[in-house]
Structure 1
Amino acid sequence: MTSLKDNFKYANSNFKEHFIAEIEKKYSNTMKLQYINIFKNVLELEERVFKKDLYDFTKDEIKNALKNFNAKTYNSITSKYSLIKKYIQYAEEMNIKRGAMNFSIKADEIRNLISSEALKNRYCTRNELKKVLSEKLINGSDKAIFILLFEGVMGKEYSELLTLKAHQIDLDNKIINLKNKIINISNYTKDTILQTINEDVYYKYLGDICSTNESYSLDINSPYLIRLRPKKNQLTPQPMKVAGLKRRLDVLKDIMEKPLLTGRTIYLSGLAERIVKHEITINRKLNTREIREFLSDNNETVETGDMLRILKLMREKILKDLNYKMEISFC
């Protein structure tokens, strides 16, 4: 903790040392280390920018400090905000802080502080997804999981994807018939589905290397597109369970070297593409009300504000991905 024992003009190193000692006594060494990291990261802001200790930071100054952490997830930045609040509240209790902390940072504000580079890595364009699927994955069913999520096959707890049956897919017309909607699919998705239907063996992955020596047979009698290995005492084939799908997604993300991708963010990436395609059709960018209506008309449950953030992040990339020659400014 030598960095906190130094004498600084604005950062109250003595109080921080006292606070750290209290944290270690009352909580855990892990929390102590988290605070040490926070104090080191805000030191330059305290000494050179805002010229005050962290406990006297305003709302905007705390947001600036949180942004400097380059946090990759909402949970990460929320955790840091919670720790900073605890430090400020302790300063109030000890009568060190000049006044009470009479503000809070809302969830939407916190989301805007997530590292923009990390956010970009959570979403993808169609061609980015196709490229990594083609280069990294070998099983058709693995590729199908990702590309179908992108096309809009998801449902609550992945129900549409897990229960999707071959008879619901019209490859000739490139459509998928779901309970409440019809989904048009690309040629790549059609080819991936065809590969999946024709598969009778699943090859396991070791690290990022696929070993053709480790595999298992798939249940060719299963009506589901994403099939499992046959079970001896099971008369009727069952769909993959949600937990099994999530485990497979975790493995495949590592194979693809895309750790920030999730089933949800892939689905939202595809939804963003569908909105941009609609904007191209009408030759202008949708406003907030129109995006809300688009989501409602298509039975999408995503929050309008979240969709606006994704579009702001991805619209330009999607337009480029679609090779659209912009006659007006969409960005």
Structure 2
Amino acid sequence: MKLYNEDIKNKFLEIVNEKEVPQILSIFRRGAEVEKFLKKDLYDFNSNEILDYLTLLNRSTTSSLLSCWSHITKYIDWAIYQKITKGTTNLSRDLTIEDVKNCIDEGKKLYITANEFEGIIDTLVNHRDRAMFMLLFDGVQGHRCSEIRNLKKADVLKAKENGNILTVHDDKYGSREIKVSDKCLNECILSADENKYHNKNGASESSKGSMFTLADNEYVIRNKKTSTQKDLERSSFNVVVYTMRTVLAPEVNDYPFLNPTRINRSGVLYEGYKIYKEKGKLEKKDYEQIINKRSERYDDLSKKIYSIKQYVNEEEIKKYYAKELGIKDGIKMR
């Protein structure tokens, strides 16, 4: 996502320690939507708006959130010194540590909501990363993410002409068909056409290693170009591991609990939430609907439903989607 007041924020990034740039960029990117909505820069926020901003960052630890608060405070100090803010008082300095700690969720968190997922997507600069995450959320994964690693541009183009029905190939369990979103297919095409990959989500400390060329082949998710026969092969599972490690790291998004399976399950949880919001309950037929919609594999339907119920049930839906359901004093999570 484009930064709000990008020229000003880039000037600030020029004067900070190079090692701090990735985290500050993440802070600015995640808050850009709020700044746009309020029609003002972070340096003009009042105390409550700063706390809302900190909450939006979804930090899972006190140390991480305090670090974000420190960066925000320094940014406002800089803006005041440069005389580009409307005020002369840094309201971030009026906050207490306890105020800031209240912006952290306190419960155990394993999954993310649809809004949190969109927040992650908005911070990503590479189409390869965006496509990978969207495929997982929509239900494409497979053994060692082989459904994603085997996906070719031709498969995506075929799905565009076939009602978004995507044929995917699992190394262990064979092929299946699954319907995915327009956004997912469009991002897959952009990924397949992408030539350059921005290392560390566009915030690499080394200018030499800030970008690399992707292999020229037919796959949606591709390895780094090597000018060897390997350039014709599908990506290795290490590409998935690298993406998870960098994109979900504290300096970028701070979701250390997430992995491919939990992103996939977050998509299942979202399907359950939509049904629960409409009906106020989840019945056996609703679970069957979710399983069929996502083309979930199973040998025994009853066992499959039981498995999904462990993380898609009324309690979990109310816990994760309390805000969307209008539940006050919902369970906080971390």
TM-score normalised by L of structure 2: 0.51
Structure 2 counterpart of 1:127, from 115, 118, 137? 115
**Structure 1 unmatched ranges of 5 or more:** 1-71, 73-115, 327-331
Residue 176 (structure 1) shift: 2.4
Cα deviation code 1:148-181 (max 9, x no counterpart): 1000110122111111111111346544233312
Counterpart of 2:255?
258
- Does residue 143 of structure 1 match 2:130? yes
Counterpart of 1:311?
312
Cα deviation code 1:177-230 (max 9, x no counterpart): 33312223143x244324313310011118x8346932111122x111001123
Give the 3 Å change call, closer, same or farther, for CA 190–119 of structure 1 in structure 2.
farther
Distance in 1 (CA, whole Å) between partners of 2:225 and 2:131 is 20
Please tell me whether the aligned partners of residues 204 and 211 of structure 1 are also in contact (alpha carbons under 8 angstroms): no
Give the 3 Å change call, closer, same or farther, for CA 126–317 of structure 1 in structure 2.
farther
- Does residue 299 of structure 1 match 2:296? yes
Please tell me whether the aligned partners of residues 273 and 318 of structure 1 are also in contact (alpha carbons under 8 angstroms): no
Counterpart of 1:165?
152
Distance in 2 (CA, whole Å) between partners of 1:185 and 1:320 is 25
Please tell me whether the aligned partners of residues 214 and 222 of structure 2 are also in contact (alpha carbons under 8 angstroms): yes
- Does residue 205 of structure 1 match 2:207? no
Give the 3 Å change call, closer, same or farther, for CA 211–200 of structure 1 in structure 2.
farther
TM-score normalised by L of structure 1: 0.52
Residue 272 (structure 1) shift: 1.8
Structure 2 counterpart of 1:192, from 183, 187, 194? 187
Give the 3 Å change call, closer, same or farther, for CA 148–320 of structure 1 in structure 2.
farther
Distance in 1 (CA, whole Å) between partners of 2:285 and 2:121 is 33
**Structure 2 unmatched ranges of 5 or more:** 1-60, 62-104, 169-174, 328-334
Please tell me whether the aligned partners of residues 227 and 239 of structure 1 are also in contact (alpha carbons under 8 angstroms): yes
Matched residue type, 1:149: L
Please tell me whether the aligned partners of residues 226 and 239 of structure 1 are also in contact (alpha carbons under 8 angstroms): yes
Please state whether the residue corresponding to 2:229 is helix, strand or coil: coil
Cα deviation code 1:269-313 (max 9, x no counterpart): 1112233445567x35223x4466457654345854553242245
Q: Which has the larger radius of gyration?
A: 1
Please tell me whether the aligned partners of residues 215 and 231 of structure 2 are also in contact (alpha carbons under 8 angstroms): no
Q: How is 1:285-296 mapped onto 2 (pairs within 5 angstroms)?
A: 285-287=281-283, 289-290=284-285, 293-294=288-289
Matched residue type, 1:185: S
Give the 3 Å change call, closer, same or farther, for CA 299–309 of structure 1 in structure 2.
closer
Distance in 2 (CA, whole Å) between partners of 1:294 and 1:300 is 13
Distance in 2 (CA, whole Å) between partners of 1:232 and 1:130 is 35
Q: How is 1:12-161 mapped onto 2 (pairs within 5 angstroms)?
A: 117-120=106-109, 122-135=110-123, 137-161=124-148
Please tell me whether the aligned partners of residues 223 and 231 of structure 2 are also in contact (alpha carbons under 8 angstroms): no
Which structure carries more relative contact order (alpha carbon 8 Å, separation 6+)?
Answer: 2
Please state whether the residue corresponding to 1:176 is helix, strand or coil: strand
Instruction: Name the count of aligned residue pairs.
Output: 204
Distance in 1 (CA, whole Å) between partners of 2:196 and 2:205 is 13
Please state whether the residue corresponding to 1:177 is helix, strand or coil: strand
Distance in 1 (CA, whole Å) between partners of 2:160 and 2:326 is 30
Q: Percent identity, aligned pairs only?
A: 20
Cα deviation code 1:77-126 (max 9, x no counterpart): xxxxxxxxxxxxxxxxxxxxxxxxxxxxxxxxxxxxxxx95543x21122
